[in-house]
Structure formats: C-alpha cells, structure tokens
Structure 1
Amino acid sequence: RVSGTDIRYDVPLTLVSLLVAVLVVCAGVFAVGYGRNRAPALLLGGLTTGIGVASMHYLGMAAMRLHGEVNYDPVRVGLSVLIAVAAATAALWAALNTRSPLAVASASLIMGAAVSSMHYTGMFAVSVRVTPSGEALPGATAMQFIFPLAVGLGSYLFLTSAFVALSPPARERQAPVSARQQPAGSTAP
C-alpha cells in the first residue's frame, strides 16, 4: 500500500501488458499443443508463458505513475518469475493430462493459488519512496481506467449472451431452407 501520493496509470502501457499476456499464453499453448516432443514442448511452453505472465505483471507496475521512486529487490523479482514459470508449466501440464472434472477443478484452484503467489511475491519485491509534490500526475485514475473496461466487458458479455440465447437451435439451422419456408399446416407436394 502506498500512501502520501496519488497514483495514476499509463493506459497505453497497461494495454501493452494485457497484449503481452494474451500473446505469450497463446504462444505457450501453441508450443505445447503442436510440439512433437511432449517434455521439451511443455518446458518451452511453460518458460514462455511464465516469463510472459511475469512481464505482464512488471509492465503493469511500470505503468504506475506516482510522486516518488519505485525500487525492486532483484532476488524477490527472480523468485516471482520462477513462481510464474512453475505455475505456467503446471497449468500447461494439467491442460494436457487432466480429464476428470474434479482434477480440472483442483488444477484450476492450484493455478489460482500459484498466480496469487506470483503476484504477492512480486509486490513484496517493491519498495516505494514517496516524494511529496503538488504537481498533477499524468495518466488515468484506477476508476477512469477500470470503469470503461468493466462497462465494455459487461456489454460484450451481455451482447454475446443475447446472441447465443436468440440463435436458433442446431436442428433448425440444419433443416432444409424449403422446410423452414412452408406455412404452418400446409403439406409439401
């Protein structure tokens, strides 16, 4: 927790961190899904995804604007990256090897705990020395950034749900066009 200064966020850099996360997870899944040798593909996918997730975290931290200096403990940063790589490797392994709903749910809970561990270890690596200033900070507040994002995501989910709910069932989509165009009660010649 940082007190004594306002905090703003560099929106383009925050969006870059999101893009990095999406791209590296895709690359990791691709490496595992299309790799010919399972073990090397899993290690490459876990390494790529883990480093990418850690990059997303630290890019997000770099997007913070405040009156002061942010420093990192390199040992704790390294530990957070190791946790991210281990968690990503475990998640990719689970995606390849678990089939039962209970195993998938357990793997998801373990992955959630691992991601939280990476985040909190990364945050434990941070120290902030506040320099009081009356100068306005550039960037968006958390609410200025998160509110439009939440509204956009909510709108997307609503519209997608409406589209799915209003779509005809598969059997209607597969019926011949002529059968769908006949008036009710009439018989085909």
Structure 2
Amino acid sequence: MGHLDHAALGWLTPALSYVMACIGAALGLRCTVRALATTGRSRRNWLVTAASAIGTGIWTMHFVAMLGFGVAGTDIRYDVPLTLLSLLVAMVVVCAGVFAVGYGRDRGRALIVGGLTTGIGVASMHYLGMAAVRLHGDVTYDPLLVGLSVLIAVVAATAALWAALNIKSPVAVTIASLIMGAAVSSMHYTGMFAVGVRVTPSAEVLPGATAMQFIFPLAVGLGSYLFLTSAFVALSPTAGERAASASAQRPVQGAAP
C-alpha cells in the first residue's frame, strides 16, 4: 500500500480548512436566523444565501484539506468536471436541507429530513471529490470508516440546522459554527482515513489538473466570496434594527414645521 500523507504542507491545510468550514457555518447560521425572521421573497433570498455559504464553506474546506493530500510514489491530478459536480452537489443538497427547515410546518420532522438530506449530501460531495482524484494505482475504502464519516455528516448537519432554528445570539452562533466546523473537518478526515491506495508506479501522464492549477484558484475565489458575503451580512441591518430606526425617525419628521 502507498504511504498516504494527509498534511503534506504541515498544519496549514488542516487549520485553514477548519477556518473555511467555520466561516461557512457561521454565515449560513446567521443567514438562516435572518431568513426565519422574515417572509416571502426576502426569506427565500436569505435561505439561498445561507445554503450557498454552507455549501461553499464545506466544499472549500474539503479541497483546501485536499491540497495537503499526497501519496508516496505517484502524482495526483483532479478530474475537473467531477470536481465541479461535487461543488454543485454541495450547493443543491444544502439548499434542500435549509429549505426543508425554513419552510417546514413541523419543526421536528423538518429537522430530521433536513439533517438527513444535508448530511448525505455533504458525504456525497466528499466522495465525489475523492472520485475526482486521479493517481497511478487503485484506491480502496474501509467500509466501516466510510459509514462512520456519513454518520458524522448527518449528525453534524442535523445539529447545525437545529442551531439555526434555536440560536439567535451572535455568541451562540459563533460557538455553534466552531462546533460545526470541527464536525465537518472530522467527517472529512474520517473519510480520508478510510482511503487506502495500492500504488502502481507508471511514467504515464495522468489526466486532469493539478491541485495548484485548478483547486487552489477555485478555493481562493470561493473563499473571497465567503468573506465578502460575511461582510455584507454583518453590515446589513436586521429586521429589528430596521424597525427601530424607522420608529426613531418618525417623531423627528413629525416635529418639523
């Protein structure tokens, strides 16, 4: 079996990927809280923003972590269409889970459906991303660890959606997102420890793009999207603040001659 390195660049990739997962989670929870405070088109827009933030955060976390993945005796390339498909899957399933919670009549059932959908979606995104890996040799999986990683993903997703429904204060959102980031990271590394590679040395050129050619620019782009969206959400007034500023302006206008 080939020797697998999960942190070829040292602590940089695990730490950075954890930060990305936390930012995505924090932004997603914040947007969901905002969504539940509104109705109509505004609710839908906040939920879409929440889903895209969580999906982007999880995907960026996965592939930033993958930048540190190396196998002794073979180069690694990534299949571009499959990698992009994994991003799409992350977005769509998280969207389905968030909408199940945002529009669910029965909170308990919405949580279970949303958590299952999102968790299985996150796991699918992870293994689709792994299926995009091209190397000289055969990749095998430990079914027990794969099952455990899917279970962690479902539990993490359910807990995150529960937090989105029940947590309002910024401090609690921060703590919840740190826990969610840790859960997503542990799901990723559990999934990675399930991988075994039997290397078949070869001089053939592998198809696909290198991590630096393709994944690094994409991760930087999506990371920038997360930071900019975070800034926008942090600076836009909440429904309560808007109502307060409207009522504060009313007496002033009435006092004018």
Instruction: Return the alpha-carbon distance in structure 2 between the equivalents of residues 114 and 48 of structure 1.
Output: 16
Per-residue deviation at 1:35?
0.9
CA apart distance, 1:151? 6.0
1:148 Cα offset (Å): 3.5
* Count of residue pairs brought into register by the alignment: 162
- Corresponding residue for residue 74 of structure 2: 5
Q: Which residue of 2 aligns with 1:138?
A: 207
> Which residue is equivalent to 1:124?
193
Where do 1:38-49 residues align within 5 Å?
38-49=107-118
- Cα-to-partner distance string for 1:133-172 (whole Å, 9 max, x where unaligned): 0011000000110343256457868999xxxxxxxxxxxx
Q: Which amino acid aligns with 1:123?
A: M
TM-score under structure 2 normalisation? 0.59
* SS of corresponding position for 1:136: coil
Structure 1 counterpart SS, 2:185: helix
Structure-1-length-normalised TM-score: 0.80
Which residue is equivalent to 1:83?
A: 152
Which residue does the alignment assign to 1:114? 183
Q: CA deviation at 1:103?
A: 0.8
Amino acid at match of 1:124: F
Q: SS at 1:128's partner residue?
A: strand
Aligned positions of 1:17-166 closer than 5 A? 17-150=86-219, 152-153=221-222
CA shift at 1:100, angstroms? 1.1
Distance of aligned partners of 1:154 and 1:93 in 2 relative to their CA distance in 1, 3 Å threshold: closer
Aligned AA for 2:84? L
2:240 aligns with none
Shift of 1:85: 0.2
- After superposition, the C-alpha distances for 1:33-58 in whole angstroms (9 at most, x for unaligned) are 11111101100000000000000000
Give distance in 1, aligned partners of 2:77 and 2:134.
5
Q: Give the Å deviation of 1:73.
A: 0.6
Q: Which runs of 4+ in 1 moved over 3 A?
A: 150-160
Partner of 1:174 in structure 2? none
Counterpart of 2:85? 16
RMSD of equivalent CA atoms: 2.2
Structure 1, unpaired ranges of 5+: 161-189
| Distance in structure 2 (CA, Å) of the matches to 1:120 and 1:154 | 20
Matches of 1:110 and 1:150 in 2, distance apart?
Answer: 22
Higher Cα radius of gyration? 1
Deviations 1:16-74 (A, max 9, x none): 00000000000000001111111011000000000000000000000000000000011
Where 2:72 maps in the other structure, the secondary structure is coil
Between Structure 1 and Structure 2, which shows a larger proportion of helix residues?
2
- Amino acid in structure 1 at the alignment position of 2:100: A
Matched-pair identity in %:
85
